[in-house]
Structure 1
Amino acid sequence: MSVPLRQQFDIALYIFKQKLSGNKRYPLVLMLEPLFRCNLSCPGCGKVDYPAEILNQRLSVEDCLAAANECGAPIVSIPGGEPLVHRDMPAIVEGLIKQKRYIYLCTNALLLEKKINDYKPSPYLTISVHLDGGREDHDRSVNQQGVYDIAERAIKLALSKGFRVNINSTLFNNASPERMADFFDHMMDIGLNAIMLSPGYAYERAADQQHFLNRSTTKHLFRDIFRIGKARRKQGSAKWRFSQSSLFLDYLCGNQTYECSPWGTPCYSIFGWQRPCYLIGEGYAKSYRELMETTPWDQYGTGRYEKCAACMVHCG
């Protein structure tokens, strides 16, 4: 199952309580960035080009757990940087599990085989491995040969140890629908739990500005991928399992229109609470309350703000 029933129930109950309380804006996923240091330098990443004095900083275990409590989101996604570089990551994960939050521990998997025994399978923990396609596509995406093979081997190891394992795939304008369909088929064949998809967002700080998607190319790309998948299912291929709702996948194809809700995925890092979202840096608040009360939310979103024009990313 793409999202476990227990998690579906808990999140649905949380949303019901928020609506019952009349809360218009509430957090769903805390984007928790304990560090920006990474062991890769992906050209499409806008998070790793900080100077050494920034890259060497870390959020403490106490910082991370306090941020989760302050925010109250039922889901915590831990991106980076590379989270497994953080020596206290096992304690951070353990603390969040004790808070009964659903954790997506993101990783490029280069250290996963070495670090896997630092963690225990839990219904609250999903290991989310960054894979942007098959061997050729992913190694090009991360600008390093051999990374795909390490990641696939680590995925198989984690699955064999009873962990729930997803992949997160960011697609750029050089993605081939046919190759991506082959990749998704292969991921289902090895027993992956689910796939999370995202069109590449044009980070201002990213080294490669040539391969990000605009809204039109996003829609055509995902329509082509899902069309191929549908045809293959008719021929007996396994159905692709996604960790996102069918409504969002339909949105990627241009069949749905939604207003952005950046407050739903607040981002906390060594700088504080980022305005207005994980993707756009317009300053920082010292507290979650300050973020919610002083950010001009109505100024952001497609049609209202230039930096949001091409964004179709799940964060909002």
Structure 2
Amino acid sequence: MGLPLNLAAKIGTHLVKQKIKRNDKFTMIVEIEPLFACNLKCGGCGKIQQPHDVLKKRMPVEQVVAAVEECGAPMVSLAGGEPLMHKDIDKIVEALLRRKKFVVLCTNAVLLPKHLHKFKPNRNFAWMIHLDGLEERHDAAVAKEGVFKEAVAAIKMAKDAGFQVFTNSTFFNTDSPESVREVLDYLNDDLKVDRMQISPGYAYEKAPIQHRFLGVEQTRKMFREAFADGKRKKWRLNHSALFLDFLEGKREFECTPWAIPSYSLLGWQQPCYLMGDGYVQTYKELIETTEWDNFGRGKDPRCDNCMAHCGYEPTAVLATMGSLKESLRAVVSG
């Protein structure tokens, strides 16, 4: 299972346009962080380590729209922090949908029941709810008991209201092939979410807990065993087949961090949202002044254990589009 058909069409059309324009670096998905504040204190995330005055700030609707228009991305991921703590988040979503963008709103879902009435189902909108395991594991990951049950209830409420619901699950070295299978089976078969996104955890520099992140060989072994017996064909995974091959160690790719840039209250983050080497104020500056060739496995030691989807899924998509065989494989599987 790959991307939803309308999203695949948007991205495919976008890629064709970039090829015609002969752009070698362009955005596929832009991640917008309209705030850093959050109602949870997850051990694997360093966003709330920002200074207090920054945590109080909220990005205006017009600024969000301008950033999206500037980079030209067909898909927008609204993240944070917790986006539902932004008083105008519904207006941001509406503004982007009017511009024919595909929007995913990333949330821990604790506040979703309170705000669901502000949103309307749309084929170009999906909730992206974080679930990093079944109850015990997820509550441990977010450092708060009861959040798993709240997220599950929110998923059911959103599905009953007619919304598309995606999930995002990050896996750590405390996970196993069995725990990966358990959560994906539950999301796929019991909750029946529309799409599932997965990624090995990356060691954010500001993350409070640094010892739980996976190395490359650990990642490959875990996903190779989790995907055995044809399991990955059953799950509604929101990934290209080549990215899943990459997670298993069947393919090698170079990172394309420019394809999923991050824009926040601090500006455009260099080189990616996982590594904060600095910020610039325009997308043009990001593309033209970032030393892209300095990043990636074997180039920067911070990249050596990264297999996150934000860096490698775009590479896999480009490889799929550049191969008739892989394009046909994507059509058959998706």
1:270-289 matches, within 5 Å, as 270-289=265-284
Q: What is the aligned partner in structure 1 of residue 177 from structure 2?
A: 177
2:93 alignment partner, SS class: helix
Aligned length: 310
Q: What is the aligned partner in structure 2 of residue 211 from structure 1?
A: 212
Letter in 2 for 1:227: A
Mapped to 2, the partners of 1:165 and 1:42 lie a distance apart of: 22
Mapped to 2, the partners of 1:150 and 1:103 lie a distance apart of: 23
Letter in 1 for 2:30: L
Q: What is the aligned partner in structure 1 of residue 300 from structure 2?
A: 305
Mapped to 2, the partners of 1:98 and 1:213 lie a distance apart of: 40
Mapped to 2, the partners of 1:264 and 1:97 lie a distance apart of: 21
Letter in 2 for 1:212: F
Q: What is the aligned partner in structure 2 of residue 54 from structure 1?
A: 54
Mapped to 1, the partners of 2:16 and 2:280 lie a distance apart of: 28
Q: What is the aligned partner in structure 2 of residue 115 from structure 1?
A: 115
Q: Does the CA contact (< 8 Å) of 2:41 and 2:143 recur in 1?
A: yes
> Is 2:232 the partner of 1:240?
no
The C-alpha deviation readout for 1:124-181, integer Å capped at 9, x for no partner, is 1110000001101100111110000000010011011111101000000001221221
Q: Does the CA contact (< 8 Å) of 2:2 and 2:240 recur in 1?
A: no
The C-alpha deviation readout for 1:42-80, integer Å capped at 9, x for no partner, is 011021111211111111101100100111111111111
Q: What is the aligned partner in structure 1 of residue 320 from structure 2?
A: none
Q: What is the aligned partner in structure 1 of residue 130 from structure 2?
A: 130
Q: What is the aligned partner in structure 1 of residue 192 from structure 2?
A: 191
How far is the alpha carbon of 1:260 from its aligned partner? 0.8
Mapped to 2, the partners of 1:29 and 1:8 lie a distance apart of: 12
TM-score by length of 2: 0.90
Letter in 2 for 1:278: Y
Q: Does the CA contact (< 8 Å) of 1:38 and 1:81 recur in 2?
A: yes
1:30 alignment partner, SS class: strand
Q: What is the aligned partner in structure 2 of residue 140 from structure 1?
A: 140
Mapped to 1, the partners of 2:51 and 2:7 lie a distance apart of: 39
> Is 2:43 the partner of 1:43?
yes
Mapped to 2, the partners of 1:119 and 1:3 lie a distance apart of: 22
Q: What is the aligned partner in structure 2 of residue 201 from structure 1?
A: 202
Give me the CA root mean square deviation. Answer: 1.3
The C-alpha deviation readout for 1:258-285, integer Å capped at 9, x for no partner, is 1111110111100011101111111111
Mapped to 2, the partners of 1:183 and 1:169 lie a distance apart of: 9
Q: Does the CA contact (< 8 Å) of 1:30 and 1:75 recur in 2?
A: yes
> Is 2:48 the partner of 1:74?
no
Moved more, 137-146 or 47-56: 47-56
2:214 alignment partner, SS class: coil
Moved more, 154-163 or 178-187: 178-187
Q: Does the CA contact (< 8 Å) of 1:134 and 1:180 recur in 2?
A: no
Q: Does the CA contact (< 8 Å) of 1:38 and 1:48 recur in 2?
A: yes
Letter in 1 for 2:202: Y
How far is the alpha carbon of 1:2 from its aligned partner? 4.8
Q: What is the aligned partner in structure 2 of residue 249 from structure 1?
A: 244
Greater share of helix: 2
Letter in 2 for 1:215: V
1:268 alignment partner, SS class: strand
Q: What is the aligned partner in structure 2 of residue 86 from structure 1?
A: 86
Letter in 1 for 2:293: D
1:315 alignment partner, SS class: helix
Moved more, 182-191 or 115-124: 182-191
2:84 alignment partner, SS class: helix
Q: Does the CA contact (< 8 Å) of 2:29 and 2:77 recur in 1?
A: yes
Q: What is the aligned partner in structure 1 of residue 104 from structure 2?
A: 104
Mapped to 2, the partners of 1:78 and 1:303 lie a distance apart of: 31
Q: What is the aligned partner in structure 1 of residue 264 from structure 2?
A: 269
2:34 alignment partner, SS class: coil
How far is the alpha carbon of 1:82 from its aligned partner? 0.3
The C-alpha deviation readout for 1:69-118, integer Å capped at 9, x for no partner, is 11111111111100001010000000010111111100000001111111
Letter in 2 for 1:311: C
Q: Does the CA contact (< 8 Å) of 1:2 and 1:193 recur in 2?
A: no
2:169 alignment partner, SS class: strand
Letter in 1 for 2:216: R
Mapped to 1, the partners of 2:252 and 2:111 lie a distance apart of: 39
Q: What is the aligned partner in structure 2 of residue 7 from structure 1?
A: 7
- Structure 1 gap ranges (5+): none
How far is the alpha carbon of 1:199 from its aligned partner? 0.5
1:150-165 matches, within 5 Å, as 150-165=150-165
